[in-house]
Structure 1
């Protein structure tokens, strides 16, 4: 009887601790020099979701403080995004790379587009004749991404939901469809115009 009570008590403690303290892969203990932004970008999570998951409205954090990390975008999807960013924004300023990654995420979150990263990136129009992104059509999406593209993807994920809502971008010097120029411009970075 004593062993059964002891086992039940131990099982109860373990279960309670699992509820209160998620696995190490979903938790983070703040270190000196950390900021919420740094934690979000290093772990590829949205800053807004990080605050919401921890019911935390402030911006000041302290070493030793504990944060639950929300679910992240898979490494496979991040790599796919980075390859598209690399292909679309090669030679563009870093801010332009972040903005291209942001367009992908904004499309995932927008009702008019597929609700997955691969769905957005590989989306086609007119029975597969036109592609949403030219690197998919010309195959340059299959080239490896550089470190800047990978970093830009993590920054865009951290910034998710806080931008100007851009869901399109184009180079006005090479755009072949005039419809895109009728969209509301949100920002211009390098050779790209971003719009919604």
Structure 2
């Protein structure tokens, strides 16, 4: 009897896993009462602007029962990598700082001077062979991300393309480069300054 219950539980969990929409593979969303474009974008980890463009929406008005096409987005592996970077870089920082760190990576992906993938940006090396992000060098990137960092990545994806264009961040107390200190500061959150 126990083995029959185990088999039933395994089958049930397998169906649940396959029926749960993944962020990268979900194709449509049916609008429910109480939904907003922001909530939908945040839930699926897609840009609000891209969600509007994909569905040819001029504003933010949506209606229950309306079917929205979801834009293709980053893979679950890229989301995990970005969340691990956020966790390592912004541990102990306010939630807004975690969102801003994720936003810097996404802004770099969209910027012509940087690689056009999340993995490419995170593992990019300078001409001197140094990694752009300390957690790559010290191995902290390999630690699992906490819930707050994962949520911050979702929010940064939904906010994508609407920020102040920051492509750098640094701690002014520990920064050793005069060059980074010369960049235009867009915002300061916690111990980090964000710049472009």
TM-score range, shorter chain: 0.7 to 0.9
Q: Which residue of 1 aligns with 2:158?
A: 158
Give the match's secondary structure for 1:180: helix
CA-to-partner distance for each residue in 1:132-154, whole Å, 9 max, x for gaps?
A: 00000000000000011000001
Task: Please give the alpha-carbon distance, in whole angstroms, between the structure 1 residues aligned to 2:108 and 2:127.
Answer: 19
CA-to-partner distance for each residue in 1:84-122, whole Å, 9 max, x for gaps?
A: 000000000000000000000000010111111000000
Task: Please give the alpha-carbon distance, in whole angstroms, between the structure 1 residues aligned to 2:134 and 2:192.
Answer: 14
Quote the offset at 1:127 in angstroms: 4.7
Task: Please give the alpha-carbon distance, in whole angstroms, between the structure 1 residues aligned to 2:91 and 2:128.
Answer: 29
Q: Which residue of 2 aligns with 1:20?
A: none
Quote the offset at 1:57 in angstroms: 1.3
Task: Please give the alpha-carbon distance, in whole angstroms, between the structure 2 residues aligned to 1:37 and 1:25.
Answer: 17
Are 2:177 and 1:177 aligned?
yes
Quote the offset at 1:126 in angstroms: 3.0
Quote the offset at 1:70 in angstroms: 0.5
Q: Which residue of 1 aligns with 2:98?
A: 97
CA-to-partner distance for each residue in 1:18-49, whole Å, 9 max, x for gaps?
A: xxxxxx93000001111100000100111000
Task: Please give the alpha-carbon distance, in whole angstroms, between the structure 2 residues aligned to 1:125 and 1:167.
Answer: 15
In the TM superposition, 1:25-40 aligns within 5 A as 25-40=26-41
Greater gyration radius: 1
Q: Which residue of 1 aligns with 2:19?
A: none
Task: Please give the alpha-carbon distance, in whole angstroms, between the structure 2 residues aligned to 1:124 and 1:139.
Answer: 15
TM-score for both structures, normalised by structure 1 = 0.86
* Total equivalences in the alignment: 172
TM-score for both structures, normalised by structure 2 = 0.86
Q: Which residue of 2 aligns with 1:55?
A: 56
Q: Which residue of 2 aligns with 1:195?
A: 195
Task: Please give the alpha-carbon distance, in whole angstroms, between the structure 2 residues aligned to 1:32 and 1:151.
Answer: 23
Are 2:127 and 1:113 aligned?
no
Give the match's secondary structure for 2:113: coil
RMSD of aligned alpha carbons: 1.0
**Gapped runs of 5+ residues in structure 2?**
1-24
